[in-house]
Structure 1
């Protein structure tokens, strides 16, 4: 296995004037070890990102998804999986499960830093303006 292979950027979607949503798959296991300062999974950061970003990234929280929620600070140039996602939203994600089986991801390396995180993708999206009954959240956990 080539450990230097970066994750594949599956899609980059605009989500507001200064925002984009990057979804990832595969790679050699680039992932954040703790939530970054502006992590959208941190409850105190609710409202920082446009609602459209949460509609776009909802597919990462669907059972057996191959799209991984990317860290917004890493961006598309040097993509990495988001620590908040790995801590709260990744247990049913196919790409994450495969990365664990292939020793490209060790979730015991990912740590909380004392800030409250949303319990689920659905909770995070709703707190950021996505309606509870919107189509994008119907299959989300």
Structure 2
């Protein structure tokens, strides 16, 4: 498999010290366990501004082709977030195809960490109001 350089698609500000970056990537990189400040971790609630969750909500939409990437991996070496694979990828088309084509393995674990049960729950815990339009189309693992 040839290596491809990620292509920057868009950058959206999400607070004074944060941004949401969307890149393309043919990389098979993914995290096997949530990182120390993973937004899916309950103990990391409040680390990122609500605007970041508004921008990333599309990753939880039915048949979405956008995956939630690990913020620690950065734009140059993007990797799919372990928390997303564990709690937010059930209805995501890109993730489902990633499992089918071998991009992701079944070796992701929560490491005993308490994770938010769904994207909407995570976003709400981080300041997004439950009735905001960005959450209306979010699917959870049990939907």
Same fold (TM over 0.5): yes
Partner of 2:52: 53
Give the direction of change, closer, same or farther, for the CA distance of 1:62–1:7 in structure 2 (3 Å limit): farther
Which 10-residue stretch deviates more, 130-139 or 5-14? 5-14
Output one character per residue of 1:10-39: Cα deviation in whole Å (capped at 9) or x when no partner: 433221111111335551311111000000
Note the residue ranges of structure 1 that are not aligned, 5 or more in a row: none
Structure 2 spans left out of the alignment, 5+ residues: none
**Aligned pair in 2 of structure 1 residues 111, 45: CA closer, same or farther (>3 Å)?**
same
* TM-score normalised to structure 2 length: 0.90
Question: 2: distance between equivalents of 1:24 and 1:87?
Answer: 21
After superposing on structure 2, the runs of 4+ consecutive aligned residues of structure 1 that deviate more than 6 Å are none
TM-score (norm 1): 0.91
Shift of 1:44: 0.8
Q: Equivalents in 2 of 1:7, 1:81: separation in Å?
A: 13
Give the equivalent residue in structure 2 for 1:39: 38
- Structure 1 pair 68/23, CA: closer, same or farther in 2 (3 Å)? farther
